[in-house]
A and B are shown apart, each in its own frame.
Chain A
Amino acid sequence: MRDLPHTEAQIAAMLAAIGAPSVEALFEVIPEAARFRGTLDLPAPLSEPELRRTLQQLGRRNTVAGADDGPLPFIGAGLPRHAIPAAVDGLAARGEFATAYTPYQAEVSQGTLAAIFEFQTIVCELFATDYANASMYDGASATAEALLMARRLTGRPRALLAAGLHPEYLQTCRSYLSGLGDEVALEALPSNAQGGTDLDALQAQLGADVACLVVQTPSFFGVLEDLAPLAAAAHAHGALLVAVCTEPLALGLLQAPGRAGADIVVGEGLGLAGPPSCGGPGVGLFGASGAKALRQLPGRLVGETVDVHGRTGYVLTLSTREQHIRRAKATSNICTNHALIALRFTIHLALLGRQGLRRLAALNLAKTVYAQRAITALPGFSPRFAAPFFNEFAVRVPGGDAAALVSHASRQHGIVPGVALGRFDDRERDTLLIGISELHRREDLDRLVAALHEATR
């Protein structure tokens, strides 16, 4: 094995130093009743050339749309696809970043610490929150942790979830809250005809036992929500507003959740950090505002300080919130987070910069509006919601079977036109969720429109 450096002579010398007759003797401390004496049922080892071929064969069993200059899939649904500059890949692949661990020893981890400090700043800027942590696993677990934090801050059990929350985030919140007592309740709010949160339904549900309202914008359906009246309604009852954003690019144009009154803002950053990666690893973004929030944040925080010579440096700080110190009373159990994806996010946002973010967002909006107008003009297609959207929109398809349409378009046209929402909610079987980004050229959008037209004629 090429990663195992020991020669037989060295092993013999080491055993002599230890005073053990054999390597096997080092395992005699394991009682015989616990020992495994069989042979592990694993495939035979492969050399690098063999393993490369195996992986390429496995890769060929996947369909990478766009590979032959066809359109990329029109799928976002919590994981939008954007162009990732080669510089992001090159820098984040550096072994000094990739093969270090949690920066416990600050003096030899200033690179990671400084990058996280920048990440925290960028998240604060995007969300307009006072604080941001060093990352969570993904947007779904970050949402669940936000809910738990709102419970700690308010001492209240219930949470109200807007209809536009990603269905897998809703499932994650349910699992995270299981076990925390019978009084814990997650209640889903209906949406109004526009696709936003129904304010009357919200008012009816708000009460003195509600910890927070959770609202995603752009929603799972791409719909933009005006958070300000929702924040006002929640705050009037002493509840917090948790905003969720799975498409931070929207924040180049869209009002920052913190400015609109959100107390905790979470999101998924993978769309701007890397390729869809078959779903992970992504990076959970977590920001919050208010003096009381600081010591209730989950996860790691990096702070600025000075060294003994007065030079600026960075350290992990306020660690007393965390599991390795406060153990059972910690604000979360998270230890390993998603630092390397956070670094990728940071590098890409630094490259885009203030102007690039806004221009890229505008480009995405233009393409999406172009596609949405063309598709909803096709016979039988109609917008599912009337509200403004960002780079995703839902349409009702003629014939009522969006899954069949996806299947037909991908087989006949080599185009994956979106996600059929019946997979999440049977009542939405006639709805197709179409995700667009700057990676779709006009000709791709035209081909999409043509394919949808042909498939439903």
Chain B
Amino acid sequence: MPNPSDRRYTKDHEWARRDDGRVTVGITAFAVEQLGDITLVELPAVGTQLRAGQPFGTIESVKSVSELYAPLSGRVAAINPRLETEPELVNSAPFDTGWMIAVEPSGDELEQLLDAAAYTALLQDAH
């Protein structure tokens, strides 16, 4: 699955896309492939203040638990309500309906993240 060019990426395999005043956050197809079948996504409450690089939730597969790291600082404005009962959306559509949270950013950290080309190159270097 190609990495869409309409958004930014982190080395921890999160993506972040500006949607009006908010930034939508999810994990990349590469991350999902590494994790396998997702069974649970634990997300913060709306209103939680996030700091870039700090954990904001956990994602579980059958045999692993991983932290989710905030790509940028800000306030959680929304969470994806479907993931509570349909965590498999992260597997089937990681860049789309498998999104996790929407953040009201408190700074301009988004612009400092990797673009799609840089992130794709990072994945290729790792192989």
Interface residues of A (CB under 8 A from B): 319-320, 325-326, 329
Contact = CB atoms under 8 A, between A and B. Distances in A.
Contacts of B64: 320, 325
A325 B39 CA distance: 14
B63 interface: yes
A320 B40 CA distance: 10
Secondary structure dominating the interface of A: helix
Contacts of A326: 65
B65 to A, nearest CB: 5
Nearest to A327: B65
Nearest to B42: A295
A385 B39 CA distance: 52
A320 B39 CA distance: 10
A167 B40 CA distance: 40
Given A319-B62, A320-B60, A320-B63, 10 more contacts: A319-B63, A320-B40, A320-B62, A320-B64, A320-B65, A325-B63, A325-B64, A325-B65, A326-B65, A329-B65
Interface string B33-52: 00000011000000000000
9 contacts: A319-B62, A319-B63, A320-B39, A320-B63, A320-B64, A320-B65, A325-B64, A326-B65, A329-B65
A320 B87 CA distance: 15
Nearest to B65: A320
Interface of B: 39-40, 60, 62-65
A94 to B, nearest CB: 30
Nearest to B39: A320
A279 B62 CA distance: 37
Nearest to B61: A320
Nearest to A324: B63
Contacts of B39: 320
A390 B25 CA distance: 59
A94 B60 CA distance: 37
A292 to B, nearest CB: 12
B32 to A, nearest CB: 17
Contacts of A329: 65
B116 to A, nearest CB: 31
Nearest to B62: A319
A78 B107 CA distance: 62
Nearest to B60: A320
7 pairs of A and B residues whose beta carbons are closest in the complex: A320-B60, A320-B65, A326-B65, A325-B63, A325-B65, A319-B63, A325-B64
A325 B40 CA distance: 15
A140 B39 CA distance: 33
Contacts of A325: 63-65
Q: Which of A319, A320, A325, A326 is packed against the most chain B CB atoms within 10 Å?
A: A320
A329 B40 CA distance: 17
Contacts of B60: 320
Contacts of A320: 39-40, 60, 62-65
B16 to A, nearest CB: 26
A319 B65 CA distance: 10
A325 B64 CA distance: 6
Contacts of B63: 319-320, 325
Q: Which of B39, B40, B62 is packed against the most chain A CB atoms within 10 Å?
A: B62
B9 to A, nearest CB: 26
B90 to A, nearest CB: 15
A38 to B, nearest CB: 45
A358 to B, nearest CB: 39
Contacts of B65: 320, 325-326, 329
A329 B62 CA distance: 16
Nearest to A315: B62
A326 B61 CA distance: 12
B101 to A, nearest CB: 20
A132 B41 CA distance: 23
Nearest to A295: B40
A325 B62 CA distance: 10
A125 B60 CA distance: 30
A329 B66 CA distance: 12
B54 to A, nearest CB: 17
A342 B60 CA distance: 29
A398 to B, nearest CB: 62
Contacts of B40: 320
B76 to A, nearest CB: 20
Nearest to A317: B62
A99 B65 CA distance: 31
B84 to A, nearest CB: 11
Nearest to A329: B65
Contacts of A319: 62-63
A102 to B, nearest CB: 14
A367 to B, nearest CB: 50
